[in-house]
Structure 1
Amino acid sequence: MRNRLKYYVLCTALCGIIIGNTGCNSEEVSYSSRMYSLPTDLDLSDAYFINKDTGYVSVGGLFTAGLVLGTEDGGSSWDTVGIYGTGVNSLSYQNGLFTASVCGQRMYSSSDFANWSFTNAPLGWWNWQKHTRLADNRVLLVGGENFGRGFIHLYTPSQGKLMLKDTFDHELTDIIATSNRTIHAVGYGLIMKSTDEGNSWVPSSVTGDFFRGIDFVDNNIGYVVGEYGSVYKTENGGNSWQSCRLGNSVFTDQTKLFRDIAFLDASTGFLVGTNNMVFRTTNGGQVWKQITNLDGYADFNAIRIQNGKAYLTGQEGNLLIIDLE
């Protein structure tokens, strides 16, 4: 009898751990949401909204043309504001400047989306994935070869100079700068930080997933998500990371892969991925539940939270906007 009781308690505890970490629970939310079909069949890679009405979306991939689409009515209608030879994979608006990094090693900058300057990098078969603009207007760009080497470039506008800062064994996929000027980057089996604006990097001990997205709530609290669903959290500015969601096996359903992570505040955050996956936590990453009552269906590539809304960019021109207020 005692052995049976011990077995029952152990199984119950393990089930609780598995459900809490793998996000098997689902939920319906009170958020209003709307899926927009933009005037393109290409994949959407990123979004940046200056306010609730005015926003921009980057479009395309390495083997397609690229676009930047703009809206001034919150997403109901869209105009083409930029056309490029290859896809645009990253957008930002910092220090009064828009920046768009383009597959094929070009970066465009503009203060008004009308007059553009561009920088070209003869990188061969390498590809920028994401970028961040520093306080002094220099730009750090991360990318790499597909399943190959990774790299970080630094662009200094005042000198018109692009410099290769560092190379790594594997591809890099995302980068973020916090307000204390610490830089964090992730990639294939790699989470790392820089406290000297990209001159040197300190890797963490965390491996075991293809890390796709990173977000920080403040200078100390940050999260990363891997392609197979592992989530790690730091509470000391990236000095150490703790697991708060176990990843799936590489032998599980390959149509369900995670792509990005974003937090509204210290408690509430979201994971997005292919096959219409949107997960939410309301307790700082301890438990994740899949949201089941959002509008439409899409394979999501990225999420950005701004102006009390979540903007989820998806494949085939789909943009989901969730009102979080």
Structure 2
Amino acid sequence: MDATLLSILQKCRAKKFSLVKLYIVVMKCILTFLFVCSIVFTACEKEKITPQQTTTISTGTTANLYKVLITKDNTIIVTGGKRYETSEMLISRDNGNTWQLQSIPEAGKALHTICQGPNDNLFATGIDSKLLISKDDGKTWQLRQLSIWRPCNGIAFDKKYFGYVISDEAQKKGIIATINIDGEILNKQEYPFGLNDIQLDGDTVFISGYGAILKTTNQGQTWQYLDIKNDNFTAIAYTNTRKLWVCGSGGSIYRSYDAGNSWEKLRNGNSITKKKYVFRDIIFINDNEGWAIGDEGLIIHTNDAGDSWKEIEQFTKAGLRSITQMQDGTLLICGEQGGLYKLKP
């Protein structure tokens, strides 16, 4: 666009065009460009996918819901809450047919994340690094206070009983804390950027953050910066074939076929010819099929490993935060304002 305008200006000067004529020429160029962009956007709109079925689940809460977990016993737990007021969970033990809303007053802050760790224990954390531990599949919870005192966005345990908790403070500061199964901090490392998501494959740990992806293979003794940047990376998807996908709040999607050693940009969030997306989570159920979700009810789908994506027809305007797949293939998605949805692709 800049080169085209420069060429026009040079021609106009050579022909001694008046300022009025120059203005008309430039405006025609801009309008033509905008027309082409509108055609591109319209074409994208026509490619939206209509799902077989969408179901909005009555949750009984207006608090934001941040993370969905399906345990090994097929219990479904959704964590959330009002930022500085409540810790809330939605629990289903019948494959999502009925739900129980559980409040945990002693924690009293929103829960951003949950994982299943050693001995199948459950660990949930969030605002002010309040840590909840359950040894009975979510029936009862014990409260611990991690000495991080920041919003925690991710938690995961490796096979050697090491846990990793990541935090974020206004996307300007982050902490990786290594913990044991009792919630005791063994080590802390600080970073000058926020940390958003964590994924494990055995002893290999990946963490996404503001402008960076980190990786460790030695229980967090050292962390490697991977060769990827230019977005606030909000979520990671990983398959057991060493394939990685990451998405960002700036609308980009990247893919790695070698456990993060090299990256391919699949979607450029800064492109002026693409719709503006804000991604919050991404999932791949195999090496080819995946979904990414985000603000304003955004869901996109791929069946070619991310080479191309199509939007799912919008069924809510609420922001979407977490997505997982249930045993029957149905997608379970949670989000803002108590939103919980089932989607049959």
Shorter-chain TM-score range: 0.7 to 0.9
What does residue 184 of structure 1 align with?
206
Provide the C-alpha distance between the structure 2 equivalents of 1:211 and 1:24, rounded to a whole number of angstroms: 26
Indicate if the aligned counterparts of 2:124 and 2:131 stay in contact, CA closer than 8 A: yes
Q: Does 1:26 align with 2:26?
A: no
Look up the equivalent residue of 1:134 and give its one-letter code.
D
Is 1:279 the counterpart of 2:303? The answer is: no
Return the match for 2:174 from 139, 150, 156.
Answer: 150
After TM superposition, the structure 1 = structure 2 runs for residues 66-85 of structure 1, keeping only pairs within 5 Å, are 66-83=87-104, 84-85=107-108
Quick check: which one's strand share is greater? 1
Match of 1:138 among 156, 162, 168: 162
Partner of 1:121: 146
Distance in structure 2 (CA, Å) of the matches to 1:26 and 1:52:
38
Do the aligned partners of 1:151 and 1:164 also contact (CA within 8 Å) in 2?
no
Q: Does 221-230 or 43-52 show the bigger shift?
A: 43-52
* 1:167 alignment partner, one of 180, 186, 190: 190
The answer to whether the Cα contact below 8 Å between 2:86 and 2:103 also exists between their aligned partners in 1 is: no
Correspondence for 2:280: 259
State the TM-score, normalizing by the size of structure 2.
Answer: 0.79
Shift of 1:93: 2.2
Question: Is the CA contact 1:57–1:69 (under 8 Å) kept in the aligned structure 2?
Answer: yes
Deviation at 1:209, TM superposition (A): 0.6
Q: 1:304 aligns with which of 306, 324, 329?
A: 324
Structure 1 contact 228–249 (Cα < 8 Å) conserved? no
Q: Distance in 2 between matches of 1:239 and 1:228?
A: 22
Normalized per residue, the structure richer in helix is 2
In 2, distance between residues paired with 1:169 and 1:150?
Answer: 6
Letter in 2 for 1:235: Y
Partner of residue 102, structure 1 = 126
Instruction: Using the TM superposition, give the Cα deviation of residue 275 of structure 1 relative to its aligned residue in structure 2, in angstroms.
Output: 0.8
For residues 283 and 25 of structure 1, what CA distance do their matches in structure 2 show?
19
User: Is 1:245 the counterpart of 2:270 in the alignment?
Assistant: no
Please give the secondary structure, in 1, of the residue aligned with 2:187.
Answer: strand
Q: How many Å separate the matches in 2 of 1:47 and 1:59? A: 10
Which string of whole-angstrom CA distances, capped at 9 and with x for unpartnered residues, describes residues 142-188 of structure 1?
11211321110011136x63133321110000001014x21001010
Partners in 1 of 2:189 and 2:100 — Cα distance?
Answer: 38
Distance in 2 (CA, whole Å) between partners of 1:109 and 1:192 is 26
Q: Is the contact between residue 26 and residue 290 of structure 1 (CA under 8 Å) also seen in structure 2?
A: yes
Structure with more contact order per residue of length (Cα contacts < 8 Å, sep ≥ 6): 1
What residue is the counterpart of 2:10 in the other structure? none
Structure 1: distance between partners of 2:210 and 2:305: 24
Partner residue of 2:226 out of 204, 208, 217: 204
1:288 to 2:309 alignment: yes
Question: Which whole-Å CA distance do the structure 1 matches of 2:147 and 2:259 have between them?
Answer: 34
Point out where structure 2 has 5 or more consecutive residues left out of the alignment.
1-35
CA contact (8 A) 2:156 2:200 kept: yes
Counterpart CA distance in 2 for 1:63 and 1:81 is 17
1-side partners of 2:184 and 2:223: how far apart? 21
Q: Distance in 1 between matches of 2:197 and 2:311?
A: 24
Kept in 1: contact 2:174–2:191 (CA 8 A): yes
User: How many residues were matched structurally?
Assistant: 303
The equivalent residue for 2:21 is none
TM-score scaled to structure 1, two decimals? 0.84
CA distance in 1 between counterparts of 2:158 and 2:74 reads: 26
> Does the 8 Å CA contact 2:78/2:90 hold for their aligned counterparts?
yes
* Alpha-carbon distance between aligned partners in 2 of 1:301 and 1:264, rounded to the nearest angstrom: 18
Of 89-98 and 204-213, deviating more is 89-98
Gap change, CA 1:60 and 1:81, over 3 Å in 2: closer
3-state SS in 2 of match to 1:275: helix
How far did 1:27 drift? 2.4
Q: Find the residue that maps to 1:316 and give its secondary structure.
A: helix
Residues 7-40 of structure 1, C-alpha deviation per residue, up to 9 Å, x if partnerless? xxxxxxxx99x979x9666322454321213110
Residues 253 and 265 of structure 1: is their aligned pair in 2 closer, same or farther, counting only changes over 3 Å?
closer
Deviation at 1:123, TM superposition (A): 2.8
How far does residue 230 in structure 1 lie from its aligned partner after superposition?
Answer: 0.4
What displacement does 1:139 show?
Answer: 1.3
Match of 1:216 in 2: 238
* Equivalent residue number for residue 56 of structure 1: 77
Once the two structures are TM-superposed, the CA of residue 249 in structure 1 deviates from its matched residue by 6.3
CA deviation string 1:20-64 (max 9, x = no partner): 9x9666322454321213110000001112379731110125333
Q: Give the one of 251, 254, 258 matched to 1:236.
A: 258
Q: Quote the Cα distance in structure 2 between the aligned partners of 1:261 and 1:272.
A: 6
